[in-house]
Structure 1
Amino acid sequence: MSSTAAASRAEEPTRATFPSLDAEAFARELQAVRTEVEASLTPEDFSHFRKMERWGRVCSVLGYATAWIAPNPLSALLIAQGNTARWTMMAHHATHRGYDRVPGVPERYTGRHFATGWRRFIDWPDWIHPDAWRHEHNALHHGRTGETADPDLVEFNTEWLRRSSKPLLVKYAIVAFFAFTWKLTYYAPNTFLEWRRAERRREGVPDTGETPELATAFNPLHADGRAFWWTCVLPYAALRFVLLPALFAPLGLWAVFSVFANSVLAELLTNLQSFILIAPNHAGDDLYRFEGRAAGHAEFSVRQVIGSVNYATGGDVVDFLHGWLNYQIEHHLWPSLPMSKYREVQPRVKAICEKHGVPYVQEGVFRRVKKLVDIMVGRTSMRTLES
């Protein structure tokens, strides 16, 4: 398919209606499940969180324990897995207040305190600032999932690429570049700029309504750019690529170089892994996007299902390797539940969707990556609902 033909096809999204759907009844059944599950929270749910945390920590420790020997893919993969786990499992669910109501949870694991202040570099060291993530992801993305106002709507964010006249091979190369760098080139600046925008509104500065340009974050001549460098880029770069390799100086320069090289490779791999796990969650020609806000809670619940996709689900190993993002439908219905509860409620949510005729999409992650890329390059388009 030529890029021109792809762009033309991208302009014609599939439209659908659900004329027989009783959204209110659908939402009531889901609410009954939520009420039941929230009443069943126990210390075991936090124990499970700590178990997943230990698995991620073990990956990081083993990665660095072998990284000094020589640059090698095994050490880099272990470091990357530990890094991904901190984001997709620990930070993601703790900042959503998923463990706030679990009996006996220490304060540092609650949504208000996780990764705040100096604990940022213990709980979640990353390019992404935790407070920026709380605003952009927890508030904006979850509150406006799939809407054109959703800052993470893939189809909208890649419109420049979808409509580009570049050869398809070049488009794929651009996607690959962002896949290996997206925490620094997309998520960190996007979350930071949205956070700064919200802070200005709170200070009474009029909002222009325009989406911040990501390039602004990297411009040291702009106030937001300088703040981004000092708040996000330099602290993490210093920790990951300077301090940690320097700790191996007693073992010699080769050890320091090896840790540095493995850290760089791990950064590329954790970007790719998290891109594969996160970016397809709400993209594909079988998922929906929306033009405006939902009319009420019932419609909002329907949107969370038809605008999200699950991957393969299973035991702790399968779920750990998926970063617990394989329960995306359940997570978007109830973002403040512990990880362990998503596996518990998933069959029940799927059954309710089937009963009410609400499309419940579940597919292997690599199939979803292909559908994501097709959206990004303009070969296919998201579905929309008839008004």
Structure 2
Amino acid sequence: MNNILEVMDSHGAQDKITDLSEIQQKEIFRKNNNEIFSTLAKITDSKFYGSRITDEIHKNELFEQNILVEILIAVGISSFFALPSHIHDISILVKLSSDNLIKLVKEHLDDVVYIDDNNYIKYYHSYFGERLVKTQGMLETAPIITEYLKILAPFMNLTNNSKKEFSRLSLGKELMQYRHLYSIFSPDSRINEKMSSQINEIIESIYESVRLQYINNYRFWEQRALCASYNEMHDEAESYARKAVALKRDFLTLTTLGKILLVRAEKEKYSDLFKTLLESDEILFEALENSKYESTYPHSTFFSHFNKIIPNLLNLSPDDISLLNTILNKWILSIDRLVDKNRKEIIKLKNMSILTFEKKMQNS
């Protein structure tokens, strides 16, 4: 592995992982099932490595057969997360019996994917699975993802899962995430505002389609809240975020609620920004303490939105200014308690917040 890292350095790939420890560098390979080309393609964003994989797979003359493509796309979805797909799940997605699916895979796709001893299908090169899904249109891929989420819903309760089913739990958790769905639907080229809106609308439609299956899943509501917020569905976003917190009050649901309140205040220009800022401060600081200072997410959320809201606060009294100063200092002092010592971005946001606040005081 050390020799591989040296080769990567000679090809410029090391630039992407220079700040990582040796253990973290090797973890990148592990997540890609130790596939060298897949790892190099992801780290370097190089078309060369991706082409090597794609050219190899396209040598299969039966690739153009629709049912085979459907199988590869279904398995490819889980490749985004370096996870396998269970035979039973894929058979439902492509509407084949498990026996017929296994037969097709072994007869026509054995140089592309393989089936392990636990009946999971895996790509030899997970990167190709990702690229294949990326080439499909959103309207073609969305229904597959929707059905996949429905299939995975029963496995989302960890207490009911065996070790063999843990991969399905992991896949469900990953596939549910808003940022992952956005990445799957995003083209490689630059995304304009119209396309971004279309992606968010499709993701929202997926969430609505699987709502009944995930109605008591707090992480589902948290992720749906983020999507609704980006869609500027502010009433829905706040409602979803509060539902997530009601189901489980952890640092992620709390941080998401705090963030959504601040985003809504910025977008709709609340007449009482000050009150919203105070409420969000309490929610985000509870999130920070809930995480036992292991997460920087509450800090980055507070500082980034503090910078945007402070200039828009009007008619502040001396007591208001004093309270804002106390809040800001509380967050600044809490940085030293963070477990994560890599705080460059947090320090940068903190310094911006200080400058923004000082400028506001000068103009008041």
Q: Normalization by structure 1: what TM-score?
A: 0.23
Larger helix proportion of the pair: 2
Flag the structure with larger Rg: 2
TM-score (norm 2): 0.24
Which one scores higher on RCO, CA 8 angstroms, separation ≥ 6?
A: 1
